[in-house]
Structure 1
Amino acid sequence: MTALWVTLLVVLALALVLRWQRPTWYWMTFGVTFAAIRVLIRYRSAMDACGLTVPPARWRLALARVTNRPVPEARSPRILRLRPTATGLVLRLKLRPGQDAFDFSASSDRLRHSFALHNVVSREIRSGVVELRMTGYDVLKLVRMPTAPPSEVLRIPVALREDGELHYRDYRQAPHALNVGATKSGKSVYQRTLVSGLAPQNVALVGIDCKNGVELFPLAARFTALADNPTDAADLLTALVQYMGRVYQVIRAEQRISVSLPDAEITADIWDLPAHLRPVPVVVVVDEVAELALAASRAEETRRDQIVTDLVRLAQLGRAAGIHLEICGQRFGSELGKGITMLRAQLTGRTAHRVNDETSANMAFGDISPDAVLAAVQIDRDRPGTAVAGDSSGGWSRIRAPHTTLRQAVDTCNAHAHRTPSIPELDPFRPALPVRVHVGKVQPKTASAPAF
């Protein structure tokens, strides 16, 4: 009997240690079993309390009256499958006639409390089938990126979602994106992770960093072109527009539309061109867009109008030419001047890190989802890297990028420097590799400087 109690105490102590130090191991060993039993036991009462049941059919009520039997209870959605994962449970439900998938999304927070789980996310799989992805612990507390399959071109895993799945930045699905966030919110770390994911791929990276290049110039070995001030940025964007025109000429020359040409060979973008003629895709990373849109004089206003016009032109026409924009900034609203809202309308992907006010969140999600605005405002200051990611379709989720240090990003870019392509229009903006500067002690002056 004593040995049994000792064994139980050891198991209990092991469970507590795992829950504190290794939540994933605790979930896979103990938590998943307890959670599955808890969900199955509480399922019917939780559905009823959340209003996710339907009244019995009329024929059942008539049959009960004829046979003098008790009135049948309300019916809950039928469970199709309950599948455990490394971070939680996946519950797939078949809806009853008259139910709507939106009801489950609206009740996700109540279901979370009913099942005593960390988070519940609902999504519609197909007509009449809803999937509840439930996480058993806070997967964003300490981000551990799972092993991802080999990355596709322009599809990079950049963060972990709150449901335990990988979040991808897919430029083929969302060609252009906006990334906003306050200082120390993790926006730069997200940017480094993105560049590190793009570095091993056959893409051209173009950077505009008006903070004197402190963010992007350390990664210069992998960049085809870089600009560190608004004047160079204006010339660089003009060269990109010229390059885009040359790509469209290649596409027009290779269309060769005739009666005998198969439909599959007709193309309107670079992706259906023959491999030997296909231009390399280009990803343009703008570190702080406000520095490009601010103007203090008439000459700067002219330059600003040219910059915004070229950015809008690239956003509207660049996808078919394989040019993609990643616009980053602390704020991105109409106060930046004419054309900014037109540019924002072209940015399909939206990512908002911690912001200082609701207006900044509205700039990213105000035209997409009010719930995403509220989620962005509620991001904790003690969790840098946490963000809300969405798109123009209205869907959104909480994500958190892994902590990628500048040294890790530099090493990745240096290791893949040989993949940096050369584009003739952008050759004048090819960055020179940074020189290592050794900072030593300041030597004492031999003579005192004159006072002013």
Structure 2
Amino acid sequence: MSASTLLVLAVILTALLLIARVKAPAVYWTLVGLPAALYRVLSAWRSTMEACELIVDPPWWKVFAHKMASPGGADVAKPRIPHIHGIRPTTTGLRLRLRLAAGLTPEDVVKSAERLRHAWAVHSVHVREIKPGVVDIRLTGFDVLARVRMPRRLVRGPLAVSVALREDGLPFVRDYQEIPHALTLGANKSGKSMYQRCLIKGLAPLDVAVVGIDCKRGVEQSAYAPRLTALAITSAEAEGLLDALVVEMEERFDLLCLHQNIAPGTPLEDITSDIWGLPKKLRPIPIVVLIDEIAELFLIVSRADAVRRDHMVTQLVRLAQLARAVGIHLEVCGQRFGSELGKGATALRAQLSGRVVHRCNDKQTAEMGLGDINDLAVVAATAIAADRAGTAIAGDSSGGWSRIRTPKVKIGEVAATCREFAHLTPDIPTLAAYRPQSPAPVPVPPAAAPVAASGTP
């Protein structure tokens, strides 16, 4: 093979790799990025750990032993560093399992994550504690949120839904058994509706009842009617639906009391068990309540509206405080959610332990959702660019947070999924009055025949 042929092949291969770097970053990472990252990590492991201050001075007895073995002082005991106990390449990065040296904590590695990112020339570095003394370092080779591709193996469970992709390449799972209630905030065009679509699409195949409250006349949730057990599209309907949900909650508590031989008159606050301890044949189906715009339930125009608002807020707070045990979960969405909405807003927000904040119009909104979780999460939420719709900061009451992004899903695709699994929609007698009717196709008038232009020759 001539030198010119080799040159042409090299140019073609380089061009293909450059195209893959933009169009197929996972392929480029597998072919080029991963070998280079492995070389950078392994070739200078000790020097990198020392430069990032992830070292521990050797114990005095080891220093003394080295001095006794080499009186001239030529041989000095080296500082201890974390040891690699496992390497696992992935399509988006690299995972390292580390055994920390005695004296180091996972927080030390977290503080050095930014230094490690630059030392290894990767997009991001995430640290997670596995058990005492062992941490996972997940390296991400490229921006996985630029073009969201959900993993093929998604986390599944009785009430677990993979909604979005995290910055470290793992799916963001909304597990209602772990976090029963959540609050989602975001400005217009921030991706809040897309998050709700992905949530409904993931809930549709599960054995769960989905209840919608969409006071914008149902423009967001009416398309999902085949899979909705109940739907309220006005404030008046929302009031009645919330009352029905409270009645359903009380009936489920009575069921728990009867099964446990507790008198039905026992105060609800004294019952600490939940429906998951019941036999499967007696266990009521879980309910997920999706509230599209919470502010519509708080806004008032007249004194009558104020009475209705106070009643609805009281019912919402009761559901948020008590309903987890009987399998009723709240998913609240809104543009803002603070004390300015009125009485009860702060009490309700305190019960919504899961938080997802998209791009906001002001810093105060980010603080409403994430200020009581982590200050760094607030800063990250305010830094979301306007052209990154669907990007959000997800946090929980433990103080942990991560950057996520939902894939683009069309409303028609979600509606088709709801029609496919319409047979799974349960009938709950207390909510039967609010069972939505599947929207009938809108007749399209026939196109008018073109009228010939008249004129004199």
Which TM-score tier does this pair reach, normalised by the shorter chain? Answer: over 0.9
Letter in 1 for 2:357: A
Determine the C-alpha separation between the residues in 2 that align with 1:340 and 1:240: 19
Q: Does 1:103 align with 2:105?
A: no
SS in 2 for 1:80: strand
Deviates more, 1:70-79 or 1:425-434: 70-79
Counterpart position of 1:339: 344
Q: Does 1:69 align with 2:68?
A: no
* 1:258-304: CA deviation from partner (whole Å, max 9, x where unpaired): xxxxxxxx992211222222111100000000111122322111111
Which residue of 246, 250, 274 corresponds with 2:255? Answer: 250
Letter in 1 for 2:48: A
Q: Does 1:316 align with 2:321?
A: yes
Contact 2:272 2:325 in 1 (8 A): no
Deviates more, 1:291-300 or 1:57-66: 57-66
Q: CA shift at 1:403, angstroms?
A: 0.7
Contact 2:110 2:126 in 1 (8 A): yes
Q: Does 1:362 align with 2:367?
A: yes
Q: CA shift at 1:250, angstroms?
A: 1.2
* 1:304-346: CA deviation from partner (whole Å, max 9, x where unpaired): 1111111110111111111000000011111111111111111
Q: Does 1:148 align with 2:159?
A: no
Counterpart position of 1:449: none
Distance 1:343 1:184, change over 3 A: same
Determine the C-alpha separation between the residues in 2 that align with 1:163 and 1:313: 37
SS in 1 for 2:165: strand
Counterpart position of 1:47: 49
* 1:368-424: CA deviation from partner (whole Å, max 9, x where unpaired): 111111111111211111111111001111111111110001101111111111111
* 1:18-72: CA deviation from partner (whole Å, max 9, x where unpaired): 1121111111222211111111123323222222112232223323433223333
Deviates more, 1:1-10 or 1:219-228: 1-10
Which residue of 173, 193, 201 corresponds with 1:168? Answer: 173
Determine the C-alpha separation between the residues in 2 that align with 1:382 and 1:291: 27
SS in 2 for 1:318: helix
Counterpart position of 2:293: 288
Contact 2:92 2:140 in 1 (8 A): yes
Determine the C-alpha separation between the residues in 1 that align with 2:246 and 2:447: 47
Counterpart position of 2:414: 409
Letter in 2 for 1:144: R
Count of aligned pairs: 435
Determine the C-alpha separation between the residues in 2 that align with 1:397 and 1:33: 27
Counterpart position of 2:244: 239
Counterpart position of 2:184: 179
Q: Does 1:196 align with 2:201?
A: yes
SS in 2 for 1:188: helix
Deviates more, 1:237-246 or 1:21-30: 21-30
Contact 1:82 1:89 in 2 (8 A): yes
Determine the C-alpha separation between the residues in 1 that align with 2:114 and 2:303: 53
SS in 1 for 2:242: helix
Letter in 2 for 1:188: S
Contact 1:87 1:137 in 2 (8 A): yes
Tell me, which stretches of 5 or more residues in structure 2 are unaligned?
263-270, 449-457
Determine the C-alpha separation between the residues in 1 that align with 2:144 and 2:223: 31
Counterpart position of 1:56: 58
Which residue of 126, 135, 150 corresponds with 2:131? Answer: 126
Counterpart position of 2:229: 224
Deviates more, 1:49-58 or 1:97-106: 49-58
* 1:87-129: CA deviation from partner (whole Å, max 9, x where unpaired): 1011111111211111211221221111100010111111011
Letter in 1 for 2:141: G
Q: CA shift at 1:74, angstroms?
A: 2.9
SS in 1 for 2:190: coil
Determine the C-alpha separation between the residues in 1 that align with 2:361 and 2:109: 31
Counterpart position of 1:376: 381
Contact 1:255 1:267 in 2 (8 A): no
Deviates more, 1:189-198 or 1:44-53: 44-53
SS in 1 for 2:325: coil
Q: CA shift at 1:439, angstroms?
A: 5.9
Counterpart position of 1:12: 14
Q: CA shift at 1:150, angstroms?
A: 7.1
Counterpart position of 2:403: 398
Which residue of 28, 31, 36 corresponds with 2:30? Answer: 28
Q: Does 1:213 align with 2:215?
A: no
Determine the C-alpha separation between the residues in 1 that align with 2:187 and 2:443: 32
Determine the C-alpha separation between the residues in 2 that align with 1:422 and 1:240: 13
Contact 1:42 1:114 in 2 (8 A): no
Determine the C-alpha separation between the residues in 1 that align with 2:109 and 2:364: 29
Counterpart position of 2:305: 300
Determine the C-alpha separation between the residues in 1 that align with 2:111 and 2:307: 49
State percent identity of aligned pairs. Answer: 52
Determine the C-alpha separation between the residues in 2 that align with 1:106 and 1:338: 41
